[in-house]
Amino acid sequence: MPVITGIRCLAVWNLQELCAGSQRTASTATTASTATRRLGPLHRWSSVPVVHSLVPEPRAWPGHGQHQVMDSYSSLNEGSSVHRIFSRGELLASGMTSRFITSAVRANLLVRVRRDHYAAPATDRHTLEAVRVGGRLGCVSAAAEIGFFAFDTEFTHLHLLREASRLRSPNDRRVPLMQAPRNGVELHWWPLIDAEDGTEYCVGARDALAQIIQCQEPRFALAALDTALHERKIFPADLAAIFAQVPAKYRDLRGRIDARVDAGQESVLRDLLRQAGFQCDIQVTIPGVGRVDVLVEDCVVLEADSRLHHKEWSEHVRDRTRDRLLAARGYLTLRVLYQDIMFNPESILQAVRELVDICRSGSARATSHT
C-alpha cells in the first residue's frame, strides 16, 4: 500500500525546526517525533530537496522495504502538478492510520481545514478559506491561482454551489458561515459554465473570467481577459461561452480584447488611452530600438514600468539607452508606473495630451533664437 511519503506539496520541517523557539512539553515533542517518523521524507512547500534526515529506517515501515517507500513518493500527486488539499480517505489510503493523522495535526505537520479535509501548513490563506467555507476559489482569487491578471487579491473570492450546505466561517471550521463575519471574503453564487473544470479547490479559467467580468471594473476585467488569452489559459473559442454566461451589458468588452499585451497593466493603459480618444497600438516594433509597450498617435511612446523588471542597474541602463534611441528617431517617451495606471489614470492622460501637442505643434516653452 502506498505511504504518505509521496505528498509532494506538504510543508514539513525537521523536528528541531518544528520545535525551535517553542515551549512544547516532552509529550508534545514525542507526538511530533512519532508523526515525523511516520510521514517520512516529505518535500517542503518551496520544492527544495527531500529532507533526507527524516527518512525512516525500513523497520519503521512494516511490510515496506526502503525502495518500496521511495517508489511510492508521488502516489498522492500522480497526474497532478499541485495537490494541496487531501481528504481523510486519501490519507488513509496512502498508509496513514487515524492515530497518525491526529499526531500530524497536533504536530502542525497537517492542518485540519474542515471535517475530513487536510492541508499543508504552508498552504496559502485563500485556498484554506475557500475549503473551510465549503467552496472553491473563484473570480480574482482563481485568476491568481491559475496565472493571469487579477487586480486586487487581498480578499478571498470563492464560488459556492446554490445547493451547498454545512457552510463554515472562513476563519473557524466550527462556526456556521451565517453566524460569523466574513472579513472581506466575497461569495459568488452564479452557475458555472463547467462545474467539472478547474480543481477541487479552484474553478476553471472560463468561470473565473465570467465572474471577474461581473465583479470587477471593466478595465480590470479586460486586462484579465487579455492576459488569460496571452498566457493561453483560455483560447479564442472559449470567449463565446464566457460572454454567454454574463448579462448583455458586459458584452461590449469582447470587442476591446487584445491578447498581444505582455502584462495586465499594459492592457489597462491601452484601454485608458483608447477610451480617451487617442489612436494607439501596442507591442510596436521600432527599427533600431525594438518593441515598445504602447505607441500613441505615432509619436509618443509609453512604457509601463514595474519594480519586477527594474531591480538591477543594468535594466535601468537598458531603458535609458532605449529612450535615447527613441529621441534620436523623433519619438517622445513617457515611462508610467503601475500605481499611476491603476490609481491615477487622469494624470497619465494629461501628460500624454501635452506630449502629443508638442509633437504636433512644438513646445510653448521652447526658446526661439533669431
Tens of pLDDT, residues 177-218:
555 556 678 888 889 999 899 988 899 999 999 999 999 999
Kindly state the percentage of the chain with pLDDT values over 70.
Answer: 68
Are the C-beta atoms of residues 36 and 100 closer than 8 Å to each other? no
Express each pLDDT in 68-83 by its tens digit: 322 322 444 454 445 6
Domains in the chain: how many in total? 3
Domain closes at, from 225, 256, 287: 256
Instruction: Please check whether residues 204 and 240 belong to one and the same domain.
Output: yes
- pTM attached to this predicted model: 0.71
Are the C-beta atoms of residues 274 and 257 closer than 8 Å to each other? no
Containing 332, the helix (H) or strand (E) segment is strand 332-337
Instruction: Please check whether residues 131 and 250 belong to one and the same domain.
Output: yes
Instruction: Please check whether residues 81 and 9 belong to one and the same domain.
Output: yes
366 domain-assigned:
no
Domain range for 183 is 126-256
Instruction: Please check whether residues 241 and 287 belong to one and the same domain.
Output: no
For residue 172, name the pLDDT band (cuts at 50, 70, 90).
low
336 domain-assigned:
yes
368 domain-assigned:
no
278 domain-assigned:
yes
Q: Is 112 exposed, middle or buried (0-12, 13-18, 19+ CB in 10 A)?
A: middle
175: Cβ–Cβ under 8 A, 6 or more apart, which residues?
168, 169
Per-residue confidence (pLDDT) for residue 220, from 0 to 100 = 96
- How far apart, in whole angstroms, are the C-alpha atoms of residue 261 and residue 257? 10
Instruction: Please check whether residues 99 and 114 belong to one and the same domain.
Output: yes
160 domain-assigned:
yes
**Backbone Cα Rg of the chain:** 27
64 domain-assigned:
yes
Identify the CATH number of the domain in which residue 357 sits.
Answer: 3.40.960.10
For residue 168, name the pLDDT band (cuts at 50, 70, 90).
low
Instruction: Please check whether residues 250 and 271 belong to one and the same domain.
Output: no
Are the C-beta atoms of residues 220 and 239 closer than 8 Å to each other? no
Instruction: Please check whether residues 140 and 234 belong to one and the same domain.
Output: yes
- Beta bridge pairs of residue 257: none
Domain closes at, from 201, 221, 256: 256
The bridge status of strand 85-87 relative to strand 157-159 is: unpaired
290-325 burial code (b ≥16 CB/10 A, e <16): eebbbbbeeebbbbbbeeeeeeeeeeeeeeeebbee
For residue 115, name the pLDDT band (cuts at 50, 70, 90).
confident
- How far apart, in whole angstroms, are the C-alpha atoms of residue 9 and residue 123? 9
370 domain-assigned:
no
Instruction: Please check whether residues 97 and 63 belong to one and the same domain.
Output: yes
369 domain-assigned:
no
Instruction: Please check whether residues 116 and 130 belong to one and the same domain.
Output: no
Domain closes at, from 213, 239, 256: 256
Instruction: Please check whether residues 103 and 18 belong to one and the same domain.
Output: yes
Query: Is 60 exceeded by the pLDDT of residue 43?
Result: no
Residue showing cell 502542525: 108
Nearest to 111 by CA among 50, 173, 66: 173
